Amino acid sequence: DAGVIQSPRHEVTEMGQEVTLRCKPISGHDYLFWYRQTMMRGLELLIYFNNNVPIDDSGMPEDRFSAKMPNASFSTLKIQPSEPRDSAVYFCASTVRIGTVNTGELFFGEGSRLTVL
């Protein structure tokens, strides 16, 4: 079975440029999470979706960040304009129904390492 697929794996861009990160969750998973990992701040939850609808975007750092999930098999995280402090590894993760019975066990992609010069 294919896991969570993220692209690109590495992105180097210049300050001010638009960056789009992509994620394909595991088929059948109805929750999708975007996390950002840095040495200083660890793993931060940016936003999560349920059935393609954004549920909580309180972790999105600024208006420069936006995320969409146009269908159950695709999500994007966009940064426009990018800044050097956005440099981080961005992870996408998916899971099936979170509830008191289901576990909420997350399946992670391999991440997109973003460097903004």
Partner 1 sequence: SQQGEEDPQALSIQEGENATMNCSYKTSINNLQWYRQNSGRGLVHLILIRSNEREKHSGRLRVTLDTSKKSSSLLITASRAADTASYFCAVYSSASKIIFGSGTRLSIRP
For partner 1, the binding residues (CB under 8 A) are 4, 31, 33, 35, 42-45, 48, 50, 55-56, 91, 93, 98, 100, 103-111
Q: In this complex, which beta carbon is closest to partner 1, that of residue 41 or of residue 85?
A: 41
In sequence order, the 6+-apart residues with CB closer than 8 A to the CB of 30 are 50, 51, 72, 96, 97
Selection from 85, 84, 66, 86 nearest residue 76 by Cα: 66
Task: CB nearer to partner 1: give 67 or 109.
Answer: 109
What does the alpha-carbon distance between residue 94 and residue 92 come to, in Å, rounded to a whole number? Answer: 7
CB closer to partner 1, 27 vs 103: 103
What is the smallest separation between the CB atom of 20 and partner 1, expressed in angstroms?
Answer: 19
